[in-house]
Structure 1
Amino acid sequence: MFFSLKSRLIALIIVLFVLSFGTLSFLLFAESRAVIRSYIESSALEKMEEYGSYIDMVQMQIYDAASLVFNSDMAKSWDNALSDPQLSEGEKMLANLAMSRFLTQATNSYTSISDVSIYRLNGLRIGAENQVTNDPAFLQESWYTNFFASGDRWLSAHTDEHERVRDHGNPVVSLLMPIGTFHHATARNVMKVNVSESYFLEPLSRIHLAKNSTIFLLNEQGQPILSQKAHELGTRAVSQIDLIRKSTPKSGVEYLSNDEGKRDIMVYKKLGRTGWMLVGLAPEKEMYSSLHKLQTTTLVVTIAVIFLSLCAAAWLSYGVTKPLTRLVLAMRQVQRGAFDQAESLLPPDQNVKSEISYVVSTFRYMILRLRQHIQNEFELKLLRQQAEYKALLMQINPHFMFNTLELVSSLAMQRRTDDTVQVIEDLGKMMRYSMHTNDDLVSLAEELAYVRHYISILQTRFGPKLEISIEESGGLDRLIIVKFILQPLIENAVKYSFQHQATAQVHIRIIRLDQRLQIQIKDNGPGMPQEIISRLQDPQAVTSQLEPILRNSGWHIGLGNVIARCRLHYGSLFAIHITNGDAQGTCIELILPVQEDNHVQRIDRR
C-alpha cells in the first residue's frame, strides 16, 4: 500500500507532525526558561546601555558648562573686582551684572542646563538673567556646608529656593565646583550648575524591564539621585549593590530574594564618569508569566493542527496524485517532441478542482507557446536586431547637435559674424538631414554632403590648423550605405589629432572595388591603444554588448556606435581594420558590401 503516493503522503504527514511537534514541545519547555532568561538579560542590558549613554551626554554638558565658567577670564576679572577694596560699590555692581550676562550665555549654550549660579562667602549670589542678590541665608544650607566640609559635588534631586527663574521651583540635580581654586575648603566662590530632574526622568520613564519594574539612578554612596515615586530598594538589594560596587564588572544581571521572600531580577550598569550607577529591579515571576500561557496554548494548537493535517492530507492526496500521473505521461511525450499526443494525455481542466488545474493549464499553454516560438523565432530575431539598430541610430543625433552648438556659441562670443552665419547654415542643413530618422539607409552622395557640411564647420573653427581631404573613386553614384557612419569617425580623428600637436591632418578615402566599398580615415593623432583595437575588431565583443555601447560616454563611443550599427545591418559582410602608424596616427578602414537602389533588402548577412 505504501507504493501509492496517496498512502505515503498521509503517512509522511503523520510522522512529520508527530515528530516535529513532539520534539518542538520537548525542546521548547526544556530550554524556554534559559532562552527567555537570556533574552531578558540582553534586552535589559541594552536598555541600560542606551540610558547610560544619555546620562554620559548630560554629564558632559554639565562639566563643559562648569569648565567654561571656571576657566573664563570673566570669572577671574569678576573675582578680582569684588576683592579690590579700592573699587566703588557701583563698579562692583557693574562687574556683577557683567558676570550675570556671562552666566546667561553659558546657560543658553547647553540645552540641558537649567541654571548656573555663583555663591560668594559674603552672602552674594549671582545668577543668570541679571540675578544679583545679597542674602546670606544660603550660607546655612546643608548642601553649602557639606561642600566645604566634605567636598560633595553632586546634589540629588532637590528644590532650590534661591533659584526659581528657569526651573520654576521644580526639582533639579546640581553640580558644585569652586571658582578660583581646585580645593573646596579654600574656595571663596562656589558655582552651582542645575539640570532639571525631568531631563533624567523623561527618558527613564520610557524604559520598562517589566510591568512593575523600577530603574534607579544611584550616586557614589548608593543613594537615589532622582525623586522617583516607587518602592524602596530594600535591605538585601542595598547589600547586593555594595558588593557590586566593589566588583570588577561594569554591567551585569543578578538574581536575589527581596524582603518579601520573592525573587527579583537586578540589572546594573556602572557609569564611569562620576561613579554613578544604574540599577533596575523587576519581579522574576512577572518575567516568566507568559511562559505558562505559551505552554497551554502550544499544546492545544498541536492537537488541533495534527487533526486538521490528517484530514487535509487525505483530501489533497487524491486531488494531487491522479492529475500528476497524467501530467508526467504528457511530459514524456513533450520530451520526445510529440506535442499532439502530450496534449491528449492531459486531464481536462473541468475535472481538476485543486491547484493542479493551474499546473495543467499552464503546461497546455506552454505546449502551444512552444510551437509558436519555434515558428516565429527567426522573425523575432530580425525584429530585435531592427530595434537595437533604431536605438543606436537615435543615440547619434544629439551627439552631432550638442558639439556643433558649442562651436556656434564660441564663434558668437568671438564676434565672427560671417563664420557664425555659415556655421548656422551648415548646421541647419545637417539637422534637416538628421531629422529623417526613419531612413535606415541613405545614398552615399547624401551622406557625403552631410559630411562636407560638418567639415565646413570644423574648418571654420580651426582654420589653417585643420587639413581635411576627401578622395572618391570607383563609381559611387548609385551606392547607398547605413546612415551616420562617417561623421563620428571624422570627429574622433580631429579631436585626438589636436591632443598632441598644433595641427590636425585627416584624410578620407572612399573607393569601390568590385562588390566591396572601402571607407578609410587616417589622422595624425597619438594612435589608439592596442587593447581597444582588439576589442573593437572582435565581432562578438561589439555585437554582444549593445546596451553598454548605448550607455557609454567614453572616448570611443562614436566608433563603437558605428561598428555596432554596421554589424547589425551587414552581419558577416562587414569588416573593420584599425592600424596605428609607425610614427603617429591611426587608420580606420571600414569594408562594406556594395548596395545600390532597389537592392537594399536582398543582402545575405550570413
Structure 2
Amino acid sequence: MFFSLKSRLIALILVLFVLSFGTLSFLLFAESRAVIRSYIESSALEKMEEYGSYIDMVQMQIYDVASLVFNSDMAKNWDNAMNDPQLSEGEKMLANLAMSRFLTQATNSYTSISDVSIYRLNGLRIGGENQVVGDPSFLQESWYTNFFTSGDRWLAAHTDVHERVRDHGNPVVSLLMPLGTFHHATTRNVMKVNVSESYFLEPLSRIHLANNSTIFLLNEQGRPLLSQQAHELGAGTLSIIEHIRNSTPKSGVEYLTNDVGGRDMMVYKKLGRTGWMLVGLAPEKEMYSSLHKLQTTTFVVTIAIILVSLCAAAWLSYGVTKPLTRLVLAMRQVQRGAFDQAESLLPPDQDVKSEISYVISTFRYMIIRLRQHIQNEFELKLLRQQAEYKALLMQINPHFMFNTLELVSSLAMQRRTDDTVQVIEDLGKMMRYSMNTNDDRVLLAEELTNVRHYISILQTRFGPKLDISTQESGRLDHLVIVKFILQPLIENAVKYSFNYQTTAEVHIRICRNKEHLHLQIKDNGPGMPQDIITRLQDSETVTAQLEPMLRNSSWHIGLGNVVARCRLHYGSLFAIHITNGDTQGTCIELVLPVQEENHVQRIDR
C-alpha cells in the first residue's frame, strides 16, 4: 500500500501538516500576545513622541510671535502713546492703527498663528487687519478675570467671538501674556495669541491605538485642551494621571482597570515646555481582537488546507511529474522559437489516454499549427505589402493622366499642332513608363527622363509663366530609386505656386552625399500647414494610414502617396524634411539610401 506515490503523499502530507500546524499554533499564539503587546507599546510611544515634537514646534511659534510683540519698539511706543494724556484722540487712533498693522505682520509671519490681539483695561481691543474696537464686554469674560487673579496663560479650545481674521469663529487654543510688564496682576494690556484647534486635531486624528481608543491633550492642571476631548476621564484615571505627572519618567505605558471591569492600556508622554501631557487610552481586549480572529481563521484554514492537500496528493503520481518536466522543457524551446527541438522533447503519445497525455498531444498539435500560422502570416504580410504598393502606384496614373488630357484638349482647341504632337509624344512615353507596375524600383536616370517629359508638358502649357530648373550633382550613375516619386512632388509644387503667384518658380536638385541620395523640390507657393508637415514626417502616422490615403482626395495626396511608398520600401532608412520659407514657398527634401543597380533585383527589363 505504501509503495504507491498516492499513499505515501497522503501519509506524508497528513503528518507534516498536523505536526507543523500544531507546533506553529502553539508557539505562534504563545508568543504573539507578548510580541503584539510590545509592538503596540513601542508604536504608541513612537507616535506620541512624534506628536510631542509637533506640539513643541507649534508652541515655539506661539512663544516666538508673543516674544516678537512683547519686545518690539512698536508695542512700547503704542503703550506710551496710550498713557500720554497730551496726545489727541486722532493721534492715539493713528498709533492704534499702526499697532494693528504690526500685529497683522506678526500674524502673517507664522502659518500656525490665527490671530494676535491686545486687550487693554480701558476696554480697547486691537487686532490684525485694522481692528480697533472699543468694547469693554471682554472685561467681564472669565478668561480675562482668571488671568489677573490666577495667571492662567493657556486657554482650552474655545470660540473667540472677537477673532475674525483667519478661522472665522472656529475653535482656537490661546496663549495669554502681559504686555509692558512681566507680572500678570499689574499689567494694563493683555496679549492673546490664538492658534486654530485644527493645528492640534489634524495630526492627532492620525494617531490610532485601536478603533475605540482616545487620545487626550491635557494642560498643566490635567484638563483637556481640545474640544473633542472635553469629557470626564473618570476619577480613577485622573488619580493615575496625577500620580504619573508627579513621577520622574517622561513617557511610558500603564495598565489599569476600567469602570466595566476590563483592562485598558494607557500610554502617556510629558511635554516639557509647558507642562502639557499626552494620554492615550485603548481597551486591551480590542488590541488583541485581531489575534483572536487570526487564531480562529488559522484553525479553519489549516483544516481546509489539510483536506485540499489530501485530495491533491491522491491525484498526483510519479507518472505525472516526469512528463510534465519534459513538457516544461519543450515550452521553453517554443519560447525561443525552436519548434523542432520542442517537438523532439515531448514524450511519445501513449495508448492509455489521460489528462497529461491529452495535454502533451494538444501541445504537440499546437506547435504544428503555430509553426504553420507563423509561416502563413509571413507570406500574407509580404503579399499585403506588395498589394499596398501596387495600389499606391496605380493611384498616380489616373491622377496624372486626367490633368494631361485636359492640357491636350486645350492645345487642340487652340490649333497648336506642334505643341499638341509634342505633348502627346511626351505623354505616351510617360504612360509607357508609369503603367509598367512590374518594376518596384527603377534607375534614377529613367526616373529623371520621365521627369523631363513631364517638365516639357508643363512648359508647353504655362510657357514663360513657369520657371523650372533641374540641378544634378554627385555620382548618380547606376543608382536605383523607388519608381514615380518625383513627378507628384513637382506637380504639387507647380499647382500651388500658380494658385498664389502669377509666375511659378520650381527648383529641382538631385545630389548624392556619401551613402544618401537627396531629392529636393523647392517652390514659391504659399507654404504648407504645420499640422500636415508634422503628420507626414511622423513615420508611424503615415504607415498606419495607408488605406485612408488610398481614398483621400485632398491637396496633399501626391506627397502622401510618395511618402507612403518610400516608407514601404525603405523603412527606417527613409527620411523626409519639409520646411517653409520665411515669407513664402515650401522645400521638400527626400533622403533615400544609396542603392546601385547590381545590388537590386531587376524584373522585366
How would you bin the TM-score normalised by the shorter chain? 0.5 to 0.7
How many positions carry a matched residue from both structures? 438
Structure 2 residue 258 is the aligned partner of structure 1 residue 255? no
For residue 209 of structure 1, report the CA deviation from its aligned partner: 1.9
Could you tell me which residue of structure 2 aligns to residue 372 of structure 1?
372
Cα deviations by residue, 1:399-436 (Å, 9 ceiling, x for unpaired): xxxxxxxxxxxxxxxxxxxxxxxxxxxxxxxxxxxxxx
Alpha-carbon contact 2:155-2:175 (below 8 Å) kept: yes
Could you tell me which residue of structure 1 aligns to residue 238 of structure 2?
234
Amino acid corresponding to residue 247 of structure 2 in structure 1 = L
Could you tell me which residue of structure 2 aligns to residue 225 of structure 1?
225
For residue 36 of structure 1, report the CA deviation from its aligned partner: 1.6
Could you tell me which residue of structure 2 aligns to residue 91 of structure 1?
91
Could you tell me which residue of structure 2 aligns to residue 130 of structure 1?
132
For residue 229 of structure 1, report the CA deviation from its aligned partner: 0.8
Amino acid corresponding to residue 6 of structure 2 in structure 1 = K
- Residues 24, 335 of structure 1: alpha-carbon distance in 2 compared, 3 angstrom cutoff: farther
Amino acid corresponding to residue 48 of structure 1 in structure 2 = M
Cα deviations by residue, 1:421-465 (Å, 9 ceiling, x for unpaired): xxxxxxxxxxxxxxxx9986332226778999xxxxxxxxxxxxx
For residue 192 of structure 1, report the CA deviation from its aligned partner: 0.8
Amino acid corresponding to residue 145 of structure 2 in structure 1 = E
- Residues 8, 443 of structure 1: alpha-carbon distance in 2 compared, 3 angstrom cutoff: farther
Cα deviations by residue, 1:178-220 (Å, 9 ceiling, x for unpaired): 4456776875533111335465456645644235533121335
Q: Mean Cα displacement is larger for which, 16-25 or 205-214?
A: 205-214
- Residues 186, 481 of structure 1: alpha-carbon distance in 2 compared, 3 angstrom cutoff: same
Cα deviations by residue, 1:241-290 (Å, 9 ceiling, x for unpaired): 43355x5xxxx542344587975423234546645332212233442244
Question: RMSD between aligned alpha carbons?
Answer: 5.7
Match of 1:243 among 241, 247, 262: 247
Alpha-carbon contact 1:237-1:258 (below 8 Å) kept: no
Matches within 5 A, 1:139-538: 141-147=145-151, 153-157=153-157, 163=162, 172-180=172-180, 188-195=188-195, 197=197, 200-201=200-201, 204=204, 207-220=207-220, 223-226=223-226, 228-232=230-234, 233-244=237-248, 247=250, 253-257=252-256, 263-271=263-271, 274=274, 276-314=276-314, 316-317=315-316, 344-345=349-350, 352=355, 359-360=359-360, 362-369=362-369, 372=372, 441-445=441-445, 470=473, 472=475, 476=478, 480-481=480-481
- Residues 590, 258 of structure 1: alpha-carbon distance in 2 compared, 3 angstrom cutoff: same
Alpha-carbon contact 1:329-1:345 (below 8 Å) kept: no
Could you tell me which residue of structure 2 aligns to residue 574 of structure 1?
none
For residue 291 of structure 1, report the CA deviation from its aligned partner: 3.2
Match of 1:598 among 575, 591, 603: 603
Distance 1:338 1:111 in 2: 74
- Residues 519, 189 of structure 1: alpha-carbon distance in 2 compared, 3 angstrom cutoff: closer
For residue 77 of structure 1, report the CA deviation from its aligned partner: 4.3
Cα deviations by residue, 1:139-185 (Å, 9 ceiling, x for unpaired): 971223444xxxx643344677x847688998642112344567768
Distance 2:358 2:28 in 1: 39
TM-score (norm 2): 0.54
Q: Which runs of 5+ in 1 are unaligned?
A: 391-436, 453-467, 486-505, 511-517, 522-545, 551-560, 570-587, 601-606
Distance 2:214 2:482 in 1: 83
SS of 2:78's equivalent? helix
SS of 2:134's equivalent? strand
Alpha-carbon contact 1:519-1:591 (below 8 Å) kept: no
Cα deviations by residue, 1:312-358 (Å, 9 ceiling, x for unpaired): 432x33xx76666777799999988877996743865xx64xxx588
- Residues 92, 346 of structure 1: alpha-carbon distance in 2 compared, 3 angstrom cutoff: farther
Amino acid corresponding to residue 116 of structure 2 in structure 1 = V
Amino acid corresponding to residue 26 of structure 1 in structure 2 = F
Amino acid corresponding to residue 239 of structure 1 in structure 2 = H
Alpha-carbon contact 1:254-1:265 (below 8 Å) kept: yes
Q: Which runs of 5+ in 2 are unaligned?
A: 331-338, 390-436, 453-470, 486-508, 518-538, 544-565, 575-592
Distance 1:440 1:368 in 2: 35
